[in-house]
Amino acid sequence: GESVGLHLPTLSVQEGDNSIINCAYSNSASDYFIWYKQESGKGPQFIIDIRSNMDKRQGQRVTVLLNKTVKHLSLQIAATQPGDSAVYFCAERPNTGTASKLTFGTGTRLQVTL
Amino acid sequence: NAGVTQTPKFQVLKTGQSMTLQCAQDMNHEYMSWYRQDPGMGLRLIHYSVGAGITDQGEVPNGYNVSRSTTEDFPLRLLSAAPSQTSVYFCASRLRGAITEAFFGQGTRLTVV
């Protein structure tokens, strides 16, 4: 069943193409930024994170870009596959303090067409 | 290694009823937390715990209680359910020094009528 709202922004991408999902964050003092993937009926799954002293970080088929000047975060997925279809959330966190809390964005739905 | 386990997966309550959402993790994580997820909104923190015997409020704590008697378990109690508590609830855990809440449960979909 659906675990997020019906009016999420949706990105439709053909299988094999690259996907770029964007996120604007609010707190210029945030030190960590994280991307999560949430498939229908499941809990969020950690994808990749980046610290504020970095501009880019790469993982397996994913790249996160951070532009602190305009407070913008993006997730790039290379060679998008049907299994990438999900809702993607960004989150920000001020520091690694024990009680430091995450603030989540509302998400973008990625639909992969065949 | 089961990770984070939540029960039940689905629940319907009548207004005024009470219930407990269960959350257990087997990774010896110190930090555990509860979130609710509502349409059009990001995950919002309800309560969290940095270790056994220690709990604190998050962004939306009203109407919910928690306790942490063991490292493994972090139950969330609704004392008197209200329709505004209809939501999907997620429990998460991480090591104390970890950057992210890397482990989430599968969620509990709660409907209050």
Q: Which pLDDT tens digit goes with each residue over B71-106?
A: 999 999 999 999 999 999 999 999 877 777 779 999
The whole-number average pLDDT for the span A88-93 is 92
- Best B23, B34, B36, B43 residue to mutate vs chain A (most A CBs within 10 Å): B43
Which residues in chain A are closer than 8 Å to B100, comparing Cβ atoms?
32, 34, 46, 49, 91, 93, 102
Instruction: Work out the end-to-end distance of chain B between its first and last CA atoms, rounded to an integer number of angstroms.
Output: 36
pLDDT digit string, tens, across residues A53-81 = 999 999 999 999 999 999 999 999 999 99
Average confidence (pLDDT) over B42-61: 94
Q: Is the dihedral of CA B12, A40, A89, A7 positive or negative?
A: negative
Q: Position of tokens 């790249």?
A: A63
Of A3, A98, A101, the CB nearest to B58: A101
Contact A38, A90 (CB under 8 A): no
Give B1's pLDDT tier (boundaries 50, 70, 90). Answer: low
The full 3-state SS of B41-108, as one line of letters, equals CCCEEEEEEEECCEEEECCCCCCEEECCCCCCECCEEECCCCHHHCEEEEEEEECCCCCCCCEECCCE
- Region A41-50: what's the mean pLDDT? 94
Going by pLDDT thresholds of 50, 70 and 90, the confidence category of residue A98 is: low
* Cβ distance of A34 and B44 shorter than 8 Å: no
Average pLDDT of chain B, as a whole number = 94
Q: In Å, how far is A96's CA from the nearest CA of chain B?
A: 6
Task: Kindly list the strands in the beta sheet with B64-66, ordered across the sheet, starting from the edge strand earlier in the chain.
Answer: B4-7, B19-25, B76-78, B64-66
For residues A24-30, give the mean pLDDT: 87
Rounded Cα gap, residues B96 and B49, in angstroms = 10
SS3 A33: strand
Which of B21, B31, B99, B110 is most worth mutating to test chain A (most A CB atoms within 10 A of its CB)?
B99
